Structure 1
């Protein structure tokens, strides 16, 4: 009786072929055995990784690629109304100036470090020196796009020694309440033209005491300025124009942020802006200037109008620190009590939670301003 032959299988064929040294010729193309190994993402420049880990927190930045966690929204206060922002992995700067004038070196970072973050863009709220004076240097070093009115971009380019890219989202001649839209990578941007702060006659229907915080005379002694600091203050006061003021809304899936670096008299000068702001989606986070010339006659009334109209979940104040201008800037501690009092006048339905920032303790403190995006779980 003849014994049936054993069935031929892929394993027996490969075993026999291996004995002949023919395995490479028998492996079919495209099998898992022949698939190329997945390449690791390229290593980012060390200066970028180092800057991002310090500004946004080491746990939030990939040690090899420099990528920032996409499930978090991270802000780091760099003085006055300026912030480094990471949102959906995009790195942006909100304003571009490190406070200095009658003092220097009070904020623990530098223009070089902010440029090393490799921001995609620099958003300019308005063109005064205390908001935009470092934009040209950061843009030159990093290649960031400068976003603002046509006048903001022209002013930055006039100071730059190399070509600076710009994205126009407004014009100084636009009526208050004009809305422009754009995209920055995955971030949807809405810019609203609104007024710069200015004093108005006392509002008798909404009376307030003047708010005049007292400057701290020790600050220049503890943080003495250089000659360049003093000269830059004088030059900026004389040369840098407003160029129009813009309020920005930034949206990504699961998070909305509103930021502005001045508070104008909406009641008298821009009632249309109030209607526009109330129509915008309520943000998860509202970051807004609270110091302004309106406080001389009407306290923080104008701030309250912005907070009421924008709404939102959390409000973070800015431009309330000792940013280096004589007789104007003072420590944020002088604003906390009046701001809390003003918040109690906001109807509860439109009153966000207040997360106060104190200078200099909260400079470059991303742990103070870390937020989780709704429905987002991936890290990088």
Structure 2
């Protein structure tokens, strides 16, 4: 056995020990669930005795990167399932246990990389949430825990063609999942391309929130987790629709037919989309803009743009100017309102993303 495998084995074993098993959630009426839902969704939305969430409110609470706690029509979901802590433990004021305490009915995975699905297995095992994603997402998430007793639903697999669509319901919510592609660098688009963008790394977060051994051991075994395919989701109830994607890929070059699938979806009130991606160093924020132009939301909320990995990422505020400049290229009658989300101030701030039904 080579030294790389030996070190990898030690990290893997240490990660299992450090991760441990999360405490099970008692669900509706459980004191931890009431407390967690009140914290994530607001006291005006959660019943103080039962923990039930108001059916006439839509609430999203940002938990770093592209993970959101999501209350819709009385149901509670997670969009992705990972709390950042690899290099900056405590920067996001939440834990995987907090997410399990929410007792979500379902977890929706956009893609399988560690910064999107790294806590999904432990959370689903603790609360019994159903995990939705590709077949590869499900297999990898079930493998995260020793005794996976939770259910996973396969929405295609890693070989599914971009543009493949899955329609289903979860409780009162209609859901559409569309296969798209992960962010990736492509050749500069000429003519008319967007200017490259690479924010200068900010290391202050690393100083104020240094990594801990437990955080490293919990995250390190997941660093090699495969993408397993990328999915975009639209959630609909009468009077409201939310569209969420945790990556924005170069569809222009690799799968332009997916834009037509986006355009055929029912109208979108709110789009939460990743703006940070590998193509920004070549084509700036062109790819997020192209998603917006096809989807035509009323409101756009940027995501995957916070400083949870100091040295490679920067604070969300550095995206404000280039994002506004990119949106200025969208036709005025199709240009959405923009609601910037800034780290760390907007973590677990439900008032920023609360909508009436």
Contact 2:272 2:300 in 1 (8 A): yes
Q: Distance in 2 between matches of 1:185 and 1:46?
A: 24
Q: Which residue of 2 aligns with 1:94?
A: 79
Give the unaligned 5+ runs of structure 2: 1-26
Report what 1:219 is aligned to.
205
Confirm or deny: 8 A CA contact 1:61 1:67 kept in the other structure. yes
Q: 1:39 matched to which residue of 2? A: none
Give the structure 1 partner of residue 15 of structure 2: none
In 2, Cα distance between the equivalents of 1:124 and 1:176?
16
For 1:136-285, list aligned pairs within 5 A. 136-162=121-147, 163-237=149-223, 239-285=224-270
Number of residue equivalences: 330
Q: TM-score, length-normalised on structure 2?
A: 0.90
**CA–CA distance in structure 2, aligned partners of residues 175 and 271 of structure 1:** 12
Alpha-carbon distance, 1:66 to partner? 1.0
Could you tell me whether the CA contact under 8 Å between 1:43 and 1:64 is conserved in 2? Answer: no
CA RMSD of aligned residues (A): 1.3
1:221-247 CA distance string (max 9 Å, x none): 11111013234444333x200000000
Match of 1:352 in 2: 336
- TM, length-normalised to structure 1: 0.85
Equivalent positions of 1:271-310 (< 5 A) are: 271-310=256-295
Provide, for residues 129-165 of structure 1, a one-character-per-residue CA deviation record: whole Å limited to 9, x for no partner.
0000000111011110111001000000011222221
Residue 59 (1) aligns with residue 44 (2)? yes
TM-superposed deviation, 1:201: 0.5
Structure 2 CA distance, aligned partners of 1:43 and 1:183? 21
CA distance in 2, matches of 1:270, 1:206: 20
- Is 2:88 the counterpart of 1:106? no
Runs (5+) with no aligned partner, structure 1:
1-41, 374-380
Structure whose alpha-carbon radius of gyration is higher:
1
User: Hey, what's the Cα distance between the residues in 2 that align with 1:209 and 1:331?
Assistant: 20
The list of structure 1 runs, each at least 4 consecutive aligned residues, that deviate by more than 6 angstroms after superposition, is none
2:346 corresponding residue in structure 1 = 362
Work out the CA distance in 2 between the residues paired with 1:66 and 1:232: 29
Aligned residues of 1:169 and 1:182 also touching (Cα < 8 A): no
Structure 1 residue 207: deviation in Å? 2.4
Deviation string 1:256-277 (CA, Å, 9 cap, x unpaired) is 1100000000100111110000
Deviation at 1:350, TM superposition (A): 1.6
Specify which of 326, 341, 345 is matched with residue 342 of structure 1: 326
Deviation at 1:43, TM superposition (A): 7.1
Distance 2:111 2:221 in 1: 17
